Structure 1
Amino acid sequence: MADSRAVSLKLMSHIQKVVDVQSKIIYFLLSVIFSFGITYLISEPGLDKAQLYVLFLLFLAIGLWVTEAIPPFAVGLMIFGFLIFSMNSYYSQIDPDNVKDHYIGYINSWSSSVIWLMLGGFFMAEAMSKTRLDRTIFRLSISKFGTSPKLILLGLMLTTAVFSMIMSNTATTAMMIASVLPFLNTMYKNAPFSKAILVGIAGAATIGGMGTLIGSPPNAIAVEALNNQGIDIGFLEWMMIGFPMAIILTVLFWFLLTKKYIPKIKKVVIAVEEDLKKDDERYKFEKIKRRIVLGVLALTLVLWLTENLHGIPASVVSLLPIILLTMSGVVNGDDVRKLPWDTLMLVAGGLALGLAIKETGLADFYVDKITGFDLNFYVLVLLFAFLTVVMSNIMSNTAT
């Protein structure tokens, strides 16, 4: 009986894998057909062959990102390959002497300032997580908000939002939920306060990501797009707008949660896991590593915030944590391999696609058409904001 059950489970697992593969193939083919159809329907006499190629690639990338027929980072790599092999005839005609330079321009998206900025943030986040500096800061900050359920929730959300400005939203959410999970397990099932904490942490991580350039990949992508248009926004300029908005929206979200999930309990105590004890022989080494990480973090943030004074770009400053944390041994080879390289591949592919849209004149073509509609500026902003919100609910924020 046990053997037959094991065989059945193995067979079911195999069938599920086959179904998953078939579904991905179907989604891939549907994305290709959809892209051909949409490109054909909206094609106009003013669009040349290269612009149609890029337009098709744009819709194909969107289709694959939405359906997840292939992993998002694989779509980014596909964009590189498509642009290099499909745009050969176009550049051979308009600029035959510099065809190679155009290809290099696409590949250079991988070494864009955005990539280095994000990579520096990834190294700092990994170092904070490895040395448990993030848990230490969490423990110190949450202890300042007393025992009132509302204040505890506010403290958790503000701490999450601030962490999310340095670490990835996903890593921050995972770390915060892991920290409060022992407390949540003591509450009864479907307790309103448990819902408030979980929803609050997830929402605060998303909101906090807008606070700094490294808080979320879309921020860096937007800055790179502005840089390509000759508009330079530094780390401090972004933070002067993003940080206050992130805090205000986090507090507003907290207020809404307290109105919906009002706990009957009047006192809450969240016990946080303690660090290594001082008599532990590892304590001394961990303390040194934490001080190194804290020093590197402080130095990097200061240089980012004072870019206008010393003139060193934020992307160049991002090399500091990469160099110092690896030289000091805080981040080793195994840690580097764990970094979210797939996110960087996705972003690099998106930047290459944006470059192609600009170089082929596709962006100018549709900008001229939009300006022809004589839409109010605020209406246009609201329209694009609405489309972005809708798309980000069915695909990743970075891909959107």
Structure 2
Amino acid sequence: MADSRRSAERLVNRMQRVVDAQKRIILFLLSIIGAFLLTYFVTIQEEQFSVIQQYVFFILIFAVTLWVTEAIPPFAVGILIVGLLIFLIGQAETNVPGQPGYIDVTTFIQTWSNSVIWLMLGGFFLALALRKTGLDADLFALTMSKVGSKPSQILFGMMLATAVASMVMSNTATTAMMVASILPFINKLGKEHGLSKALLLGIPSAAAIGGMGTIIGSPPNAIAVEAINSMSKAKSGGIQIGFLEWMVLGVPVAMILVLIFWFLLKRKFKLNEMGVDSVVEIKNEPSNLEERFQKRIVLAVLAVTVLLWLTGRWHGIPSAAVSGIPIIFFPMIGIITGDDVREIPWDTLMLVAGGLSLGLAIQESGLAEFFVAKLSNFTFNEYAMMTIFAFATVLFSNIMSNTATATILIPVASILPGVNPAYMAMVIGVSASCALFLPVSTPPNAIAYSTSLLKQSDFRFGGLTIGLLGPILVIVWVVFLYMIGYF
């Protein structure tokens, strides 16, 4: 009986994979057709559209459609973007070296050497070292031993620790580590206990929110910084954003949102003031001499790297160069091996590199200037545009990758006449971390949902709360920093 049941399950799984593959193929073909038709109808009425601009517009629409439909994984879209840009623009008859409007297609590959990519890679090495040495688990143990035994205190401590950790580690890795750490605790409490649900909702939300705090905390932050700094170089005298400047922008917003959501969770689940000491067990396993040495090395490298990131405006060392410290040092002393490097989320870097290439193509092809000319006849209220784009970012990030959303919206918002492109990029970059409405909205939500202790409807509370309050708070903070002359 058991064998026949397993055989039936395998058959059902195979059939489901076939159906899923067919669905993705159909969506992929529909995306091509839709992008082609939209490009045709838009460009046929505009004689000023060059051949290269038509190609870039088609690639933009095609990429957006693939990101929304998820016909192929998001990272594959990033690679496809680079390939299409090189192939279509490279073979265009009008793309002649030495002629006006010539685009060297090798620049689309060079996004892999972009400072944003190296900054994120340095962050990934730090996160990997924290996990390998067990310092991430030590953070959980330290938090639980310090926050107290009341349910509200435990919830606050775990959310705060998660938010802080996600500023250095990836949101996904932080959530996976924290959820794995609390599952034995939740099993003893019981899944119906208010604290159990509060923790499973609070931790992924705090991870996403905490990612706002630093450039390496979330890919949309890095995309926004790259856009701002690129525009600053082009205008020679604009805003330059470094690691510290972004923390001034992101950390206060993140901490306020964590506090607000903690308070609302405490009220919603009526966390009583009864102690739960009987189920809180912190196991601090003694480390051997080598493990203690490695932990101290990781802490030292982390401290030096973050310190240099924060003080970049004084010593002048680029953040990307500072990222080389963990990349070189950890493998040198054996903390990170070649096998460990394979665990780095290269798919995220592929997605970001593809998005940067697309943004570069929009600028180099003159497509951005074309739309600027079309929009120049309209008057836009800066605060209204900030609000519209902030909530649009949250909406799109709930149904597609927040990295893809930032990649699409930041270049569009940056060309609107009458608005400050740097402030628009900041608002969009931070708002991208406020999308928490669905289990699939973010990987942290998906991790919490995978425990089977939450229903899909449970995420609506945090999704609505953060999705409505977050963008407003971001806009208010950006405007305040502008008014006091910080930016």
Q: TM-score range by the shorter chain?
A: over 0.9
Q: Compared with structure 1, are the counterparts of its residues 101 and 372 closer, same or farther at alpha carbon in structure 2 (3 Å cutoff)?
A: closer
Identity level (%): 54
Contact 1:50 1:87 in 2 (8 A): yes
| Residues 205-241 of structure 1: CA deviation (Å, up to 9, x unaligned) | 0100010011011111111111221242100111111
Partners of 2:153 and 2:280 lie apart in 1 by: 15
Question: Would you say how many aligned residue pairs link Structure 1 and Structure 2?
Answer: 396
| Residues 52-88 of structure 1: CA deviation (Å, up to 9, x unaligned) | 2111111111111122211111111111110001012
Partners of 1:101 and 1:396 lie apart in 2 by: 29
Contact 1:113 1:315 in 2 (8 A): yes
Q: Of residues 286, 300, 314 in structure 2, which corresponds to 1:277?
A: 286
- Shifted more, 361-370 versus 92-101: the winner is 92-101
Which residue of 1 is the match for residue 363 of structure 2? Answer: 358
- Measure how far apart 1:95 and its partner are: 3.7
The equivalences for 1:192-207 within 5 A come to 192-207=194-209
Contact 2:130 2:298 in 1 (8 A): yes
3-state SS of paired residue (1:398): helix
Which residue of 1 is the match for residue 259 of structure 2? Answer: 251
Contact 2:86 2:106 in 1 (8 A): no
Partners of 1:326 and 1:289 lie apart in 2 by: 12
Q: Compared with structure 1, are the counterparts of its residues 100 and 125 closer, same or farther at alpha carbon in structure 2 (3 Å cutoff)?
A: farther
Query: Which 5+ residue runs of structure 1 have no aligned equivalent?
Result: none
Which residue of 1 is the match for residue 463 of structure 2? Answer: none
- Measure how far apart 1:100 and its partner are: 9.6
- Measure how far apart 1:160 and its partner are: 0.5
Which residue of 2 is the match for residue 33 of structure 1? Answer: 33
Which residue of 2 is the match for residue 121 of structure 1? Answer: 123
Which residue of 1 is the match for residue 385 of structure 2? Answer: 380
Which residue of 1 is the match for residue 398 of structure 2? Answer: 393
Q: Compared with structure 1, are the counterparts of its residues 370 and 142 closer, same or farther at alpha carbon in structure 2 (3 Å cutoff)?
A: farther
| Residues 99-121 of structure 1: CA deviation (Å, up to 9, x unaligned) | 99722211000111000000000
User: Within the alignment, does 1:293 sit opposite 2:295 as a pair?
Assistant: no
Contact 2:119 2:323 in 1 (8 A): yes
- Measure how far apart 1:334 and its partner are: 0.8
Q: Compared with structure 1, are the counterparts of its residues 6 and 256 closer, same or farther at alpha carbon in structure 2 (3 Å cutoff)?
A: closer
Q: Compared with structure 1, are the counterparts of its residues 133 and 272 closer, same or farther at alpha carbon in structure 2 (3 Å cutoff)?
A: farther
Partners of 1:306 and 1:343 lie apart in 2 by: 27
User: Within the alignment, does 1:108 sit opposite 2:116 as a pair?
Assistant: no
Contact 2:68 2:399 in 1 (8 A): yes
Partners of 1:371 and 1:258 lie apart in 2 by: 49
Which residue of 1 is the match for residue 268 of structure 2? Answer: 260
User: Within the alignment, does 1:143 sit opposite 2:175 as a pair?
Assistant: no
Q: Compared with structure 1, are the counterparts of its residues 148 and 379 closer, same or farther at alpha carbon in structure 2 (3 Å cutoff)?
A: same
| Residues 264-318 of structure 1: CA deviation (Å, up to 9, x unaligned) | 352133635524325xxxx111100000100000000110011011100111100
- Shifted more, 191-200 versus 298-307: the winner is 191-200
User: Within the alignment, does 1:345 sit opposite 2:350 as a pair?
Assistant: yes
Contact 1:210 1:243 in 2 (8 A): yes
User: Within the alignment, does 1:236 sit opposite 2:207 as a pair?
Assistant: no
- Shifted more, 101-110 versus 72-81: the winner is 101-110
Partners of 1:40 and 1:123 lie apart in 2 by: 45
Q: Compared with structure 1, are the counterparts of its residues 181 and 98 closer, same or farther at alpha carbon in structure 2 (3 Å cutoff)?
A: farther
Contact 1:180 1:272 in 2 (8 A): no
- Measure how far apart 1:242 and its partner are: 0.9
Letter aligned with residue 277 of structure 1: P
Q: State the structure with bigger RCO (CA 8 A, min sep 6), 1 or 2.
A: 1
Partners of 2:135 and 2:373 lie apart in 1 by: 51
- Measure how far apart 1:7 and its partner are: 4.1
- Measure how far apart 1:48 and its partner are: 2.1
Which residue of 1 is the match for residue 311 of structure 2? Answer: 306
3-state SS of paired residue (1:229): helix
The TM-score, its normalising length taken from structure 1, stands at: 0.94
Partners of 1:128 and 1:3 lie apart in 2 by: 43
Contact 1:88 1:99 in 2 (8 A): no
Letter aligned with residue 233 of structure 1: I
Letter aligned with residue 299 of structure 2: L
Contact 2:95 2:101 in 1 (8 A): no
Partners of 1:131 and 1:71 lie apart in 2 by: 31
- Shifted more, 300-309 versus 92-101: the winner is 92-101
Q: Of residues 170, 173, 176 in structure 1, which corresponds to 2:175?
A: 173
Partners of 1:3 and 1:248 lie apart in 2 by: 54
Partners of 1:237 and 1:152 lie apart in 2 by: 31
Which residue of 2 is the match for residue 132 of structure 1? Answer: 134
Q: Compared with structure 1, are the counterparts of its residues 304 and 232 closer, same or farther at alpha carbon in structure 2 (3 Å cutoff)?
A: same
3-state SS of paired residue (1:32): helix
Contact 1:91 1:99 in 2 (8 A): no
- Measure how far apart 1:8 and its partner are: 3.3
Partners of 1:244 and 1:276 lie apart in 2 by: 35
3-state SS of paired residue (2:368): helix
- Measure how far apart 1:191 and its partner are: 2.5
The equivalences for 1:17-96 within 5 A come to 17-43=17-43, 44-45=45-46, 46-90=48-92, 92-93=94-95, 95-96=97-98
The TM-score, its normalising length taken from structure 2, stands at: 0.77
Partners of 2:93 and 2:221 lie apart in 1 by: 31
Query: Which 5+ residue runs of structure 2 have no aligned equivalent?
Result: 233-238, 406-487
Q: Compared with structure 1, are the counterparts of its residues 91 and 342 closer, same or farther at alpha carbon in structure 2 (3 Å cutoff)?
A: farther
| Residues 133-188 of structure 1: CA deviation (Å, up to 9, x unaligned) | 11112221332211121121111111110000000111111111111111111223
Partners of 1:101 and 1:49 lie apart in 2 by: 12
Partners of 1:3 and 1:205 lie apart in 2 by: 42
Partners of 2:103 and 2:247 lie apart in 1 by: 35
Partners of 1:220 and 1:91 lie apart in 2 by: 35
- Shifted more, 194-203 versus 124-133: the winner is 194-203
Which residue of 1 is the match for residue 474 of structure 2? Answer: none
Partners of 1:8 and 1:135 lie apart in 2 by: 40
